Amino acid sequence: MSSQLITPEWVKDAVFYQIFPDRFAQSRRVEKPANLEPWDSPPTVYGYKGGDLLGVVERLDYLQELGITAIYFNPILQSAANHRYHTHDYYRVDPILGGDGALRELLDAAHARGIRIVIDGVFNHASRGFYPFNHALENGAASPYLDWFYFDQERLRAGRPLNAYPRNARERRDLGYKAWWNLPALPKLNTDTPAVRRFIFDVARYWIEFGVDGWRLDVPQEIDDDEFWREFRRVVKGANADAYIVGEIWFPAQRWLQGDQFDAVMNYIFTRACLGFFGGEKLDTSMRPGGFRLKPLDAVQFARQIDSLLGLYDWEITLAQLNLLDSHDMARFLTLVGGDRERLKLAVLFMMTCPGAPCVYYGDEIGMEGGEDPDCRRSFPWDESRWDHDLLAFFRRAIALRHAHPALRRGRYLRLHADAARGVYAFARQAAEETLVVVLNNGAAPYALDVPVRRLLPNGASLGDLWGEETARVARGRISGLTLPPRAAAILSPAP
């Protein structure tokens, strides 16, 4: 392993929870503006529910009982959007979330429990309310901030104003500046300008020194400059060598994962593979998360995709990948698989036994559903009568299993068996002191175990099922003696 290929040790043992701040929890200690949507009403594009960071502080017991050891927050800095990807002030936590003081309290309370905090960094674009852009909007060609963005300077010198608030599609084609996806609210920053680079690097350092444990980077491929990200890494790691840097990349990301830029990416390749296999014939293929087409996979196709995925990066990087089943940018997993909780359960168990840090999107553990944005960003229902308690217990148990077994977090991964006809996939995780065999029956019929184990386990070995109460045995290099019901799993460990 290259000396550069070092990722934070804590991430390899972490279980993440993703929180969309406006929708998770409210605290009465945070004063709210008057015009909020009712908490339980359907989410809208522009409306606010009024979630805040002190609400999260008050729910840390819940997260700790779930087994969460790290939280990834969607943007928390001041913004005029409920998702806060339109940053107004990079040095201020949004007042609706409770401001800087709420973040300070959250960090102190979370760290006291051993929970890390990673926040979203939006550095490709800013907002119309960001001071340098607003300055140019007001002053045109006379503004000293023209090189902070990609303005049509000839237009400004001719005295024509920017068209930052277009009234129709025709006007939107003539903004007078470059915007992300041509969205007028998201002017693209010119990161070739030294002052912009210094600004972003200072922001990156500031919040790490404030106490956050890492950055999730929004659309980092849009800043097409490897040296920018190398310097970003040097600044962040200089402030805290243990800080986690994870990029939002929806496709193979070898370019950014050579040890000199990011530690990991959001593992959407993993997401699509899980949707394909565990969703199967129930998968809704009409939706395209991130623009990618979904398709059902049989066990052999799934095994090939997982093999390919695990071969993309150095093992040190693979162990730090942020594995997820869904997020704020796509329909929820449960909705995409037709509300079938047994399919979700198998996918969760696979995520908890797979290399990389699992990440639970808020509310998945109690059965929250939701279609594409904004429906995937519903408010968390704190009325427990609305929870799926069986599903919640499953999540807790699966997370506890991962915490209890180092092999599931750091052990090598070995594909053992894939049966397309029966919908069965089996693999092993092996560390110095333990070998675990995971068998997933995603089929509609019971499966009598017949899994080759090569030389991993000796003939005659008796195996206990950590997930059930049955036992199995090894004979002639194969595991047998146990029948799995449909949509069920076994996690087998040699009996002492």
Known catalytic residues are 218, 248
Residue 228 CA: distances (Å) to CA of 4, 119, 189, 231 = 17, 19, 13, 5
CB 134 within 8 A of CB 232: no
Amino acid at site 486 = P
Sequential DSSP letters for 253-310: -GGG-SSSS-SEEEEHHHHHHHHHHHHGGG--TT--GGGPPP----HHHHHHHHHHHH
CB 466 within 8 A of CB 444: no
**Which distant-in-sequence residues (6+ apart) come within 8 Å of 462 by Cβ?**
471, 472, 473, 494, 495
CA–CA separation, 412 vs 220, rounded Å?
30
Amino acid at site 458 = P
The DSSP bridge partners found for residue 93 are 77
CA–CA separation, 243 vs 227, rounded Å?
19
Widest distance between CA atoms in the chain: 86
Task: Report which of 55, 125, 53, 64 is spatially closest to residue 92, judged by C-alpha positions.
Answer: 53
**Which tokens go with 366?**
């109690």
* Cβ count within 10 A of residue 48: 17
